[in-house]
Amino acid sequence: MTNETHFMLGGDLRVRRMGFGAMRLPVGAIDGPPRDPETGRKVLRRAVELGVDHIDTAAFYSRGGVAANVLIREALGDPYPEGLVIATKVGPYKGPDDPFPTGQVSADGLRAEVERNLTELGLERLDLVNLRPGGIDPAGGESIGERFEAFAASARRASSGISG
């Protein structure tokens, strides 16, 4: 067991060991209705007040018009707190009325997903973007390697990785 309170994320981003996962910001229960957006914004502000310095999010974290990325931007952006690291992921496809991802974005669509995250978060560059290949068959039968090559070629992010 280590007593280290920080580690290097993506090789060059020093963050605390405990971050904040934004998956449930848009909902109170994983299969429940959308949450009041103000509740999500309050949770985010409080997390940062308590010392959270990195947030894990994704554009597909949304339900009924409430999107985690938008809540993050509204609560913390313009400007974001100095030193806040935002990690996001791309890969799963979730339609506007789907409660959960139902497929995978094609290799060609990964760059558009990176751009979608940038737009929703109000950022020019993402600190870390992970390709999440697991659980659902890739679009077009592409291998994880083919998808990662296409993903890694997308711009406007500092580091990239694979998320399970």
Q: Is the pLDDT of residue 86 over 70?
A: yes
* Structural domains of the chain ordered from first start: 6-158 (3.20.20.100)
**pLDDT classification of 164: cutoffs 50, 70, 90:** low
DSSP the chain: -----EEEETTTEEEES--EE-TTTTBSSTTSPBPPHHHHHHHHHHHHHTT--EEEEETT-EETTEEHHHHHHHHH-SSPPTT-EEEEEE-EE--TT-SS--EE--GGGHHHHHHHHHHHHT-SSEEEEEE---SSPPGGG--HHHHHHHHHT--SEEEEEE--
Residues 127-150 have a mean pLDDT of: 68
**What pLDDT does 71 receive?**
98
Residue of 20, 60, 61, 80 with catalytic role: 61
AA letter at 113: E
Q: Quick one: which of 117, 111, 154, 148 has its CA closest to 132?
A: 148
Are 128 and 156 in contact by the 8 Å Cβ rule? The answer is no
**Is residue 80 among the annotated active site residues?**
no
AA letter at 64: G
Q: Give the model confidence (pLDDT) of 50-65 as tens digits.
A: 999 999 999 999 988 9
pTM of the predicted protein model: 0.85
Virtual torsion, Cα 163, 117, 51, 28, nearest 10 deg = -80
Lowest mean pLDDT across 9-23, 45-59, 117-131: 9-23
Spatial distance between the Cα atoms of 129 and 88, rounded to a whole number of angstroms: 5
